[in-house]
Chains A and B, each alone.
Chain A
């Protein structure tokens, strides 16, 4: 009787299993992307720097105290209301815009605000000033920054939808994919110029 050989174990599927693991690791290990609220600090002013005089109505004052309470334009406010209040302030359009290269930008013809004489003149003049205390919680500070940025995003989206029929977010995404596209760049800059983000951080107050 001939001895029967033991059949070899089929190891063909082992490769598949290993490939599966390989792909799993390839996909999961690149997931961690650092994202955050980006900010550009202002340059250090020279010693004899005199800050320009800015009209009171063009400044939107946001104060955060050490108990994480908000004081907006002299009134207490909840964080949920901050976005709408900011939006109203930026979009007011009560007067003429900034003078760029000797040419006045004129009245804000895309603003849909109340055009009240007590609020900002033009989005390019509207300054948001955030004053916090040294003891303010960082989480609260970020929340406030986030709400302010949300107001800008909403306005930019609205303007982009009115002019180009796409939201600003989509426009920016397209541009990021195709950085050499001059047309898209122009569109993004058009919107950015009309609603520039002017958020200034005042030096925090301290208890002593």
Chain B
């Protein structure tokens, strides 16, 4: 009996060895899910123009993006190319592209849909104007010319 009374063991520390595993699991989850679901660029990564009077596009789910620039592969030829989704397209395909984008959103959201044009600085205005006319035909009137805020200029 005396054995029991004498030996007073200290409280065993809670084993926290599995905590890192849990946190790592979370870490991997976030690392995998937050990767931008950016479409495969068929054109060269456009160097966006600089502008200070920019507005942020708030509802990302309502933005459809059109890329304009030089094609990466030679088979498409030189000159400005338009990329919709994963394909190189022409301005004639824009109407179908917009209709497709619209069908994926509810009717309530449709008036707030914006088209973001990510074009390279060296593009010609003619191509942009073709896009604008095509968008006007399908009544997709809200557009945004994607540009960067130059560092050093405060908003």
Contacts and interface: CB of A to CB of B under 8 A. Distances in A.
Interface of A: 11-12, 14-15, 17-19, 21-22, 25-26, 29-30, 32-44, 64, 132-139, 141-143, 145-146, 149-150, 153, 169, 201, 203-204, 206
19 contacts: A17-B20, A22-B26, A22-B27, A33-B56, A34-B116, A36-B144, A38-B57, A39-B144, A40-B141, A40-B143, A41-B136, A41-B142, A42-B136, A134-B124, A135-B126, A137-B122, A138-B128, A146-B52, A153-B53
B37 to A, nearest CB: 12
Contacts of B146: 34-36
If over half of A's interface residues share one DSSP class (helix, strand or loop), that class is named, otherwise mixed; here it is: mixed
A133 B24 CA distance: 56
Contacts of A40: 141-143
Please tell me the size bucket of the interface on B.
35 or more
A131 to B, nearest CB: 10
A36 B126 contact: no
A136 B125 CA distance: 5
B53 A37 contact: yes
B4 interface: no
A143 B125 CA distance: 12
Interface string B28-59: 00110011100000000000010111111100
Contacts, number: 156
Given A11-B17, A22-B27, A34-B146, A132 B125 contact: yes
Q: Which of B34, B136, B145, B148 has the most CB of A within 10 A?
A: B145
Contacts of A150: 52-53
B34 A29 contact: yes
A30 B60 contact: no
A15 B139 CA distance: 53
Given A37-B145, A38-B144, 20 more contacts: A15-B23, A18-B23, A22-B27, A22-B30, A25-B27, A26-B34, A34-B65, A36-B57, A37-B144, A39-B144, A42-B136, A134-B124, A134-B129, A137-B122, A138-B68, A138-B122, A138-B128, A145-B145, A146-B53, A204-B126
B89 interface: no
A31 B143 CA distance: 22
A135 B27 contact: no
Contacts of A17: 20
Given A138-B121, A141-B128, A26 B137 contact: no
A12 B145 contact: no
Interface of B: 16-17, 19-20, 23-24, 26-27, 30-31, 34-36, 49, 51-57, 60, 63, 65, 68, 114, 116-117, 119-129, 132, 135-137, 139, 141-149, 155
A125 B65 CA distance: 34
A149 to B, nearest CB: 4
Which 6 A/B pairs are nearest by Cβ-Cβ distance?
Answer: A134-B126, A139-B121, A29-B34, A149-B53, A14-B20, A18-B23
Contact of A21 (B27, B34, B148, B155): B27
Nearest to A151: B53
B122 to A, nearest CB: 6
B143 A39 contact: yes
B34 to A, nearest CB: 4
Q: Which of A34, A42, A133, A149 has the most CB of B within 10 A?
A: A34
Contacts of A38: 55, 57, 114, 142-145
